Amino acid sequence: MTQAGKYSEGDWGDGAELRTIRDKFSHFRRLLDHNHQALEILGDMEEKSQGKYLFDLNFIRSRLADLRANVSEIIRCLVTLGGDHYQVLQERFTLIDDQIELVFPSNRPIREDAYCRRFDTLSRMNSYSVGSKNAQLGEMISKLGLPVPAGFAITAWAYKRFIDSNDLQNRISERIDSVDIRSFYDLVRVSGEIVDLIRASTVPNDLAEAILEHARGLTTKVQEARFSLRSSAIGEDTLFSFAGQYASYLNVRADQLVRRYREVLAGKFTPQAIYYFLSHSLSESELAMSVGCVAMVEAAAAGVVYSRDPVNPVDDHVLVNAVWGLGKFLVDGTLTPDNFRVSRRGKLIEAQIADKPVQLVMDTHGGTVSRPVPPKLRQKPSLTNKQLRNLARYAVLLEDHYACPQDIEWVVDQKGKLLLLQTRPLQVQAIQPGTPLPDLSEARVLVSGGNTVCHGAGCGRVHHVTSAHDLPSVPEGSVLVAPNPFPGLVTVMNKVSALVTRVGGVASHMATIAREYRVPTLTGVPDALNLPAGEIATVDATGAVVYHGRLDELVQARHPEYNLSDEESIFDILGRVLDLVSPLRLLHPEDDDFQVENCVTLHDITRYAHQKATEEMFYRATDIADKERISLRLKTDLPVTVGLVYLDRGRRASGRRGWVKEEDLGSIPMRAFWNGVKQEGWPQSGGDEHALKLTMKDRGALPFSENSFAALSEEYMILSLRFGYHFATVEALCSDNINKNYINLQFSHGGSTFDRRARRVRLMTRILREMEFECRTKGDFLEATVSYKDAEAMVSKLTRLGRLTIMTKQLDMALSTDQVASWYLNDFLKRLDLVEVPVPADRPEKGSDR
Amino acid sequence: MKGRILAVDDELHMLKLLERVFAERTQHRITTTNNSLEVAGILEQERFDIIITDLRMPGMDGMEILRWMADNDRDEQVIIITAFGSVDSAREAVSLGAFDYINKPFKQEELLFAVDRALHFAAMRKDFKQAHKLFSIQPLSKATEQFTVTYIRRLALTVDNDPQVVAERSGLNLDEVKRLLQKENDRKL
């Protein structure tokens, strides 16, 4: 067989063959090692998910990194052991890993991809390469058939090409490391330096050519065509929202594309963005930039649709904000938009039509320009009922598809056709109903009205700002008042107690950040600028009123309860990661579905690899020479098959016809262990009866055992034991030298629920401790070691271990409660002549353990 | 013992967990912030018994918080939470005055136990400081007077501030007790 070819060369005398076997054995040992580590990590993660521990994202991140490293090594060992056809396991691993990445973005190295990818070749699985924004556009086309402008993504791999070819990584890192995060001026300084660095760099030719070629593919008349470039950061919009932090360019000519691309990359390093990712402990290499390039749509109207009201998600309405022209004036807070409330079936419930004096349109020379809106249109709705109906339909469809509320950007072209530009999860919040409000009849109202952008109430001294230059002087705890929700406000978000703006709707980049930072915020308050500077005021964002003075009771009463996507706890996150990591779908190697393509979790991969490695080690070895010498089997009455390999025997040491009698085992530790197994015998009835019945019932009639294997020498044994659904590895050295002797037991798996498996591990731990083992457990994984005992003691421990292995076979099925477990514990301790634990307990009622 | 706790961590998830644990399992009041730069401001406005802080954070890290506390002569006990495997820096934190450190991830009990010990330690330290102050008062008559005030006040706390009971138990006459308690109130105001 080809996979064994690696080992079939050379002289098949005793020496060469043994070398080969030992060589294989060392890879096998390595694989076992990594397998044990992987299982230990899995056990640890499961344990932490049970709720008794407190942990952070970093814990998940570092455990995942360890797990990935071990799984990679396992696959590498298996490939070395069994040949290149096991590379498919690597592909499977990559596939699962991509899904994990979606659930939990990490700082994986940037993966190789084309420099440019058309949207219609993308789905959300590509977000590691093209960023969430681009990937979702691909998903909308390829999975949902929704109208999206033609376009392509310039990938993270292209970003890496640009950064590497200009040696930018180190130069940027140095500057970011030097920032004093407390100083706005310092952020501005460093931002400027980095932007200059990037502007002074060259986009390499191959990359520039790829961009232009794809641009030509979007249109027949490339000379006249106009494009827009938008950032799509990797990891954006997943666990962290990065709304509006990055630059985008509209109405770009083809000959300006490459230069603008570089500008978008430079725009990643705004003071706000640097502040944001420093204050979130992200490193900038975690945030490679992809850029989306789409054929420019000449917008008649544009805006945002929320599939739910972000501040009142239970009312089931779709919310649409719209302005004339391009959407930028809406999201940057320049204009108060039209505000439509639409039912989920598309019926208009409520419309607040705003006065829209200006609109942003494409300039003939490139770029955009602000133009007055014709007087007759200023106060007209910027959308028709039909368009609103379609928007609502798309929004509901997207919410269903992603199973969470969505925040969608759209545009209507000159012909009235609706196109979607972006979708992403919407952060929603809800207040606890029935919070009693204090009596406010005596309170003096300063101003009222406006849109609740973020619930709650806050009080402090009124402080007015008009532009980013005013921001450094904003005092801690103030009520901040601004003419419009300009993006720079994000830098003071965690200093202020409330925010009020004269212009603005519910949907702007600043609004998203305000909700994230939970700053009570009102926008579109007509008289906001009349608020008296320096006076104490209380902003009731929920009630859309600003009161004079400090109303602490109101602030208390309005304290919001957050829920839905905003309130995803770290346990939910770990749970979603574990779904892709931990459940074991591949149970039995003899099942038809024990196949690489059925590996859906990392646990499956380790299980599969472990099984195949065992087979490679002990079966395939038989292909390289005659079976009689290597494929030895233990001759036993018990219904188990144990393959044997002798590490210290040459040709002569074989048993005839491949069978080794129990009394001829030769290996001291193996004999001791097997004596224990024999002594206990295969369970017929009694203690395990119930467990076996359960097995048959729950799993169908499966054989009780599958192949187990042992590699042996006179004084050494490594035994890989499979009984039912659990497996154990027992390694032992039993010699005259007391300092070398050890037994190491590793134990995991099981067919039943986690708590039952964990109970069995606890039970085994108790018994093993009585036997002087040092035990370490992580979840349902157990490792026990004993060393520095003389040969006689080792033999007696191994015999007990053999008995214990049979006693606990499939016991997890029966351990439905702690009471049952303690009954078994007593029973076992007694039978093993170990100390009895003083827990008086009768055998629990049958059925009480169901 | 009811305590006031300030928790600092750049990860909102961790803060939410802490809020939940303390709300569900203790009487302590907890304030949280995910921006360590706010810590100085919060501490200037309010006193706490315990500060629980992450070690590595953007802005002001755990060590800087400890230094700030030392520079500003603060009494709060600091419990440092460190990521897996940075025990050395945790020890350094203890040498800078941290009460204890806990490795992440940790069991709820571990933290609650540390908080409990820190609260007891803080109470003892307060007693000790008070006694130390008392012993440095001169002359003896003033010290005796101050001792009596403290004695009466503590006794009063255990009997719902009832002067009648305080008088009976202390063996002082009622007017004297009232005078001493009044004096204590004046001092507070």
The answer to whether A54 contacts B108, with C-beta atoms less than 8 Å apart, is yes
Compare CB distances from B104 to A55, A494, A495 and report the shortest one's residue.
A55
Residue of A nearest to B58 (CA): A279
Report yes or no: A147 and A418 within 8 Å, Cβ to Cβ: yes
Q: What is the pLDDT of residue A561?
A: 56
Above pLDDT 70, what percent of chain A? 82
- Alpha-carbon dihedral angle through residues B142, B147, B148, B150, given to the nearest 10 degrees: 130
Output the pLDDT for position A839: 52
pLDDT at position A849 = 40
Is residue A176 predicted with pLDDT exceeding 60? yes
Residues A626-648, mean pLDDT to the nearest whole number:
70
Pairing status of strand A536-540 against strand A457-464: antiparallel
Q: What's the pLDDT score for residue A704? A: 35
CATH of B4-128, one of 3.40.50.2300, 3.40.630.30, 1.20.120.330, 2.60.120.260: 3.40.50.2300
Residue A188, pLDDT score: 85
A52 contact residues in B (CB cutoff 8 A)? 107-108
Amino acid at B70: A
> For chain B, which residues make up each domain, given as ranges?
4-128, 137-184
Residue B37 CA to residue B65 CA, distance in Å, equals 9
Rg of the Cα trace of chain A?
34
pTM assigned to the model = 0.57
Cβ-Cβ contacts under 8 Å, A57 against chain B: 11, 13
pLDDT digits (tens, 9 = 90+) for A380-389: 999 999 999 9
Instruction: Give the contacts of A97 (CB within 8 A, at least 6 positions apart).
Output: A68
The CA R_g of chain B, rounded to the nearest whole Å, is 20
As a whole number of angstroms, the distance between CA B186 and CA B189 comes to 5
Query: Residue holding tokens 């994000």?
Result: A490
Per-residue pLDDT at A92 exceeds 60: yes
Partner residue opposite B13 with nearest CB, options A48, A281, A570: A570
Q: In chain A, where are the structural domains located? A: 150-295, 299-413, 445-561, 626-831
Using CA atoms, how far apart are residues A765 and A759, in angstroms rounded to an integer?
Answer: 10
A56·B108 Cβ contact <8 A: no
Exposed/middle/buried for residue A322 (C-beta within 10 Å: 0-12, 13-18, 19+): buried
pLDDT at A658 over 80: no
Residues A112, A165: Cα–Cα separation, whole Å? 15
What pLDDT shows up at residue A697? 37
| Separation CA A640–CA A285 (nearest Å) | 53
Range among A101-105, A840-844, B59-63 rated most confident:
B59-63
**A494: which chain B residues are within 8 Å (Cβ-Cβ)?**
35, 37-38
Which has more confidence, A319 or A131?
A: A319
* Alpha-carbon span A549 to A193, nearest angstrom: 44
* Mutation choice for A interface testing from B9, B10, B12, B57 by most A CBs within 10 A: B12
Greatest Cα-to-Cα distance within chain A, rounded to the nearest angstrom: 104
pLDDT score, position A489: 82
Residue with more model confidence, A734 or A312? A734
Which one of A56, A181, A495 has the shortest CB-CB distance to B11? Answer: A56
**A809-838 confidence digits (pLDDT tens):** 767 778 888 888 888 888 888 888 886 555
* Residue B57 contacts A, CB cutoff 8 Å: yes
For A766-785, write each residue's pLDDT tens digit.
899 989 898 878 777 788 88
- With 0-12 / 13-18 / 19 or more C-beta atoms within 10 angstroms meaning exposed / middle / buried, residue A833 is exposed
According to DSSP, residue A533 is labeled T
CA-CA-CA-CA torsion sign (A105, A111, A116, A122): negative
**pLDDT exceeds 50 at position A343:** yes
DSSP H helices, A283-421, are 328-331, 375-378, 385-402
B contacts of A573 (beta carbons < 8 Å)? 13
ipTM: 0.73
B79: pLDDT confidence band, cut at 50, 70 and 90?
very high
Least confident of A619-633, A743-757, A833-847: A619-633
Region for A423 from its dihedrals, namely left if φ exceeds 0, alpha if ψ lies in -120 to 50, beta otherwise: beta
Asked if A704 contacts A713 with a C-beta cutoff of 8 angstroms, the reply is no
Q: What confidence tens digit (pLDDT) does each residue in A438-479 have? A: 888 888 999 988 888 888 899 999 999 988 788 878 888 899
Question: How high is the pLDDT of residue A158?
Answer: 94
CATH of A150-295, one of 3.90.45.10, 3.90.950.20, 1.10.510.10, 3.30.1490.20: 3.30.1490.20
Residues of chain A in contact with residue B13, where contact means CB-CB under 8 angstroms, are 56-57, 569-570, 573
Asked if the domains at A150-295 and A299-413 fall in one CATH topology, the answer is no
| Contact between B108 and A494 using a beta-carbon 8 Å cutoff | no
What burial class does residue B103 get, using C-beta atoms within 10 Å of its C-beta: 0-12 exposed, 13-18 middle, 19+ buried? middle
Considering Cα of A795, then A800, then A805, then A806, what sign does the dihedral take? positive
Q: Which of B 26-55 lie inside 8 A of A, CB atoms?
A: 35, 37-38, 41
Task: Please say if the pLDDT value at position A703 is more than 50.
Answer: no
Question: Which of B35, B56, B111 lies at the smallest CB-CB distance from A279?
Answer: B35
Architecture of domain A445-561: 3-Layer(bba) Sandwich (3.50)
Where do we find the tokens 């498919």? A88
Flag the least confident range among A151-160, A407-416, B38-47: B38-47
A429's tokens: 């919040």
How many residue pairs from chains A and B have C-beta atoms closer than 8 A? 71
Position A609 pLDDT exceeds 80: yes
What is the separation of C-alpha A336 from the centre of its chain, rounded to a whole number of angstroms? 37
Residue A720 in this model has a pLDDT that exceeds 90: no
Could you tell me the CATH superfamily of domain A299-413?
ATP-grasp fold, B domain (3.30.470.20)
Q: List pLDDT tens digits, range A142-170.
A: 889 999 999 999 999 999 999 999 988 88
Q: What is the pLDDT of residues B11-23, one digit of tens each?
A: 878 888 898 889 8
Q: What's chain A's average pLDDT?
A: 81
The chain A residue lying nearest B11, using CA atoms, is A56
Rounded to whole angstroms, the Cα distance separating A345 from A397 reads 11
d(CA A655, CA A644): 11
Residue A87's pLDDT band, with cuts at 50, 70 and 90, is very high
- By the 8 A CB rule, do A447 and A528 touch? yes
Least CB–CB distance from A57: residue in B13, B18, B106: B13
The secondary structure element, H or E, covering residue A136 is: helix A127-142
Distance CA A158, CA A264 (A): 13
In order of A44, A749, A846, the CA distances from A811 in angstroms are 22, 12, 15
Phi, psi angles (nearest 5°) of residue A656: -70, 145
Phi and psi at A407, nearest 5°, equal -115, 110
Choose between A69 and B104: higher pLDDT: A69
Residue B9: closest C-alpha in chain A: A56
